[in-house]
């Protein structure tokens, strides 16, 4: 059943720009939709906060603030944030749309992965988190659902909705944010999280990729939380015999219950993961997990069928939301040969079988990553040297590497006083090193000095001030506007923090911008529109005439109301909207003759008239004898009706 049919947003235009096509996923705080940006004609993902949360002003402010922070986190393995806004009760993020599946989908369909595939997924995840950690953010909700695997093989980390600045308070004040199976002990016990909490979650995800199951299980969330606090994550080799000790050590390091023992951030864990991979041979990397060795449709474990590698892929023409499944037969692995005593020797395997087995394993890994087998290129004899890229911008370095037939595997960022901000300060392998012709290079880009000073921006136009902040390694924060006799309209009055203050790179600086000198707003109510426009423009104001006219006490064609009244705060160039009168409304006059004066007065006032009472002399009673406008006739709304009592 297609539940999106019942979603009120599907088929609607959000904020006059984003056409919502279908619902992708529903989470605890938001729903994610596939949508089309009709302005730029591109497909993207819309993350829309649940309306119940949108009423919480504090939560919305945090949501918006963190969205702006994540939008500055540019990394090839992070789902990009394009826009943020609100439309009525809907607060949303416009994000990069990644066609493919999640790591959870892969694990659900396939179970445990081969170590090579697990590391191929883990490394870009750690690269993304490493960039976030270096920029001062903690994800706090790492899990397979937040790891996207594109149809083109790219791995991206999504849903930074729970991020916090590392330097900011992270106490959850009574509630733990995150997913139970991946929470670090300190998150559960103290409600706090730093970069090491993400490291712990990645260790749990790695365990799950290697074994096909979570390390801690229980009938209730409380039981799982208790195990996180009181039991170590077991070595994955206990569940999958044959896994190397290096993988056991990698999981143990990342999931140490004491955060002081863990790698301090994702960058450090990434280095450990690469060391572990380098220590493993092809046989260890391509170890087929037990559930992958029971193949075909035969009984599990009977060995009657060849092992089968299974992975769900969305194919063109899929119908009714059903994804077809690609299967690739994997030949049986050769039996391990006994190793004689003395110097270690590699057992000989017939070339044909070994070659076919290696190729099948490679293709199986590619299927997990969503890549067609035809893109894999192997040529052990083709080598080149890493070109010189130090001191170049990231874009220049990537182009130079591409011209040499190399790809950028990862981009790190670090502080440097020797290299300008945004330029390459290191490469791995280093410039001049030999590397396979289709190899990959990790770049380290300078973030500039560790501490930067806020520049003096007073008197600069806003656009120029923003450029100066970017050049200094800072970012423009909240922009407010105020009247100023001293500073021209559109120039910076002051910054917060003040010029000369030391800040970490990428910190936000609030700007106060001049609206110009204050202008006295003249009162033009009742004036003809032409005269009113001339008076306001001579005062330095801009005039806009509202298209709709209204009934008022003013004569038709004159100004009935102005958007800023006399004495209001305005600056030169501000716009005043004039509403034009179409004259008073004509109202039926009730007949009040013969009625008590008080009753007649109430009835006339209720019809919208002013009332004047004239009593005859000598006073012979309070009964209305006549009225200035007869009953049944019409008079302008708000005009005065005179009633008289009888006299001699």
Which residues are designated catalytic? 141
Neighbours of 413 (CB within 10 A): 23
What are the distances in angstroms from CA 147 to CA 46, 160, 196, 417? 17, 11, 18, 35
Which three-class secondary structure state does DSSP give residue 90? strand
Supply φ then ψ for residue 614, to 5 degrees. -120, 120
| CA–CA separation, 633 and 641 (whole Å) | 12
Whether the Cβ atoms of residue 343 and residue 366 lie closer than 8 Å to each other: no
Give the max Cα distance, the chain: 143
Bridge partner residues of 640 (DSSP): 610
CA 508, 178, 255, 442 dihedral sign is negative
8-state DSSP, 101: E
Q: Residue by residue, what is the 3-state secondary structure of 379-444? A: CCCCEEECCCCCCCEHHHHHHHHHHCCCEEEEEEEECCCCCCCCEEEEEECCCCCEEECCCEEEEE
Whether the Cβ atoms of residue 180 and residue 221 lie closer than 8 Å to each other: yes
The pair of structure tokens assigned to 293 is 């060795």
8-state DSSP, 366: H
Residue-wise burial string across 615-640, b where 16 or more C-beta atoms lie within 10 A, e elsewhere: beeeeeeeebbebebeeeeebebebe
The pair of structure tokens assigned to 212 is 């096909």
Which three-class secondary structure state does DSSP give residue 66? helix
| CA–CA separation, 301 and 437 (whole Å) | 42
| CA–CA separation, 79 and 182 (whole Å) | 21
Radius of gyration of the chain (CA): 36
Helices 195-211 + 115-134 axis angle, to 10: 170
Whether the Cβ atoms of residue 87 and residue 30 lie closer than 8 Å to each other: no
């Amino acid at each position: 059943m297609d539940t999106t049919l019942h979603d009120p947003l599907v088929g609607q235009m959000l904020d006059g720009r984003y056409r919502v096509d279908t619902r992708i996923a529903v989470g605890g705080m938001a729903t994610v939709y596939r949508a089309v940006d009709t302005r730029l004609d591109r497909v993207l993902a819309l993350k829309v906060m649940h309306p119940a949360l949108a009423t919480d002003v504090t939560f919305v402010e945090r949501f918006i603030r963190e969205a702006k922070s994540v939008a500055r986190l540019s990394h090839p393995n992070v789902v990009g944030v394009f826009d943020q806004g609100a439309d009525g009760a809907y607060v949303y993020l416009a994000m990069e749309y990644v066609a493919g599946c999640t790591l959870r989908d892969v694990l659900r369909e396939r179970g445990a992965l081969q170590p090579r595939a697990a590391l191929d997924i883990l490394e870009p995840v750690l690269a993304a988190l490493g960039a976030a950690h270096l920029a001062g953010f903690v994800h706090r909700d790492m899990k397979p659902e937040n790891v996207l695997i594109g149809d083109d093989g790219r791995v991206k980390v999504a849903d930074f909705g729970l991020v916090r600045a590392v330097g900011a308070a992270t106490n959850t004040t009574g509630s733990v944010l995150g997913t139970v199976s991946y929470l670090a002990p300190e998150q559960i016990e103290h409600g706090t999280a730093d970069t090491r909490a993400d490291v712990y979650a990645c260790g749990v995800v790695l365990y799950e990729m290697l074994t096909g199951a979570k390390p801690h299980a229980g009938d209730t969330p409380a039981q799982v939380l208790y195990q996180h606090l009181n039991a170590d994550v077991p070595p994955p080799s206990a569940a999958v015999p044959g896994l190397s000790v290096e993988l056991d050590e990698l999981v143990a390091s990342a999931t140490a219950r004491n955060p002081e023992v863990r790698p301090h951030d994702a960058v450090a864990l990434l280095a450990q993961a690469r060391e572990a991979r380098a220590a493993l041979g092809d046989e260890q990397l391509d170890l087929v997990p037990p559930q992958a060795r029971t193949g075909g449709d035969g009984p599990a474990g009977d060995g009657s069928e060849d092992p089968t590698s299974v992975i769900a892929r969305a194919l063109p023409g899929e119908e009714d939301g059903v994804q077809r499944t690609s299967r690739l037969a994997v030949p049986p692995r050769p039996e391990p040969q006994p190793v004689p005593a003395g110097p270690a020797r590699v057992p000989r395997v017939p070339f044909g079988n070994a070659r076919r087995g290696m190729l099948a394993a490679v293709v199986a890994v590619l299927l997990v990553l969503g890549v067609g087998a035809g893109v894999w290129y192997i040529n052990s004899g083709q080598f080149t040297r890493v070109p010189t890229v130090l001191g170049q911008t990231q874009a220049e370095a990537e182009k130079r590497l591409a011209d040499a037939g190399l790809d950028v595997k990862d981009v790190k960022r670090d502080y440097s006083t020797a290299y300008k901000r945004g330029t390459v300060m290191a490469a791995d392998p280093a410039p001049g090193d030999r590397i396979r012709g289709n190899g990959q290079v990790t770049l380290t880009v300078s973030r500039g000095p560790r501490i930067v000073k806020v520049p003096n921006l007073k008197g600069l136009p806003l656009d120029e001030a923003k450029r100066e902040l970017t050049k200094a390694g800072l970012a423009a924060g909240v922009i407010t506007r105020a009247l100023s006799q001293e500073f021209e309209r559109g120039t910076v009055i002051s910054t917060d923090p003040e010029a000369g203050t030391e800040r970490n790179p990428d910190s936000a600086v609030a700007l106060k911008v001049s609206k110009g000198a204050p202008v006295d707003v003249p009162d033009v109510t009742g004036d003809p529109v032409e005269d009113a426009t001339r008076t306001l423009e001579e005062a330095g104001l801009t005039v806009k005439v509202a298209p709709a006219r209204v009934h008022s006490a003013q004569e038709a064609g004159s100004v009935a109301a102005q958007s800023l009244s006399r004495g209001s705060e305005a600056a030169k160039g501000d716009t005043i909207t004039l509403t034009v009168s179409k004259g008073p409304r004509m109202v039926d006059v009730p007949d009040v003759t013969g009625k008590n004066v008080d009753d007649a007065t109430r009835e006339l006032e209720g019809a919208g008239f002013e009332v004047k009472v004239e009593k005859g002399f000598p006073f012979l009673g309070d009964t209305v004898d006549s009225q200035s406008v007869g009953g049944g006739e019409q008079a302008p709304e708000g005009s005065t009706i005179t009633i008289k009592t009888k006299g001699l």
